[in-house]
């Protein structure tokens, strides 16, 4: 059973997954797990500013990046200035 590693960039820091997950070589499951992690990461690290980007990069057993999911956050006032 192949092992996949899910590295996380939370807008400030990259956390390298050194443990990984054994999955049934189901790349659709790899994709789903990476995407599903993004909202939780964003909730924990919502920015003080108006923009952020959160990334999960998946590596295979050989250490090659095989998938990346990115969530961009942007907040802005519409039609008026803050205040």
pLDDT higher than 70, residue 81: no
**Are 65 and 7 in contact, with CB atoms under 8 Å apart?**
no
The tens digit of pLDDT for each residue in 42-79 reads: 888 877 778 889 999 999 999 999 999 999 998 888 98
2-47 per-position pLDDT tens digit? 999 999 998 889 999 999 999 988 899 999 999 999 999 988 887 7
pLDDT at position 51, please? 87
Q: Report the distance separating Cα 22 and Cα 3, nearest Å.
A: 4
Entry pTM: 0.85
**Distance (Å) of CA 19 to CA 4, 47, 78:** 9, 28, 44
């Amino acid at each position: 059973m192949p092992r996949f590693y899910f590295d996380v960039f939370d807008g400030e820091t990259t956390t390298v997954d050194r443990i990984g997950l054994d999955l049934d070589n189901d790349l659709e499951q790899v994709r789903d797990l990476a995407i599903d992690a993004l909202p939780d990461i964003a909730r924990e690290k919502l920015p003080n500013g108006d923009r952020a980007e959160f990334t999960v990069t998946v590596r295979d057993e050989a250490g090659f990046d095989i998938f990346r999911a990115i969530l961009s956050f942007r907040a802005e006032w519409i039609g008026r200035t803050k205040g």
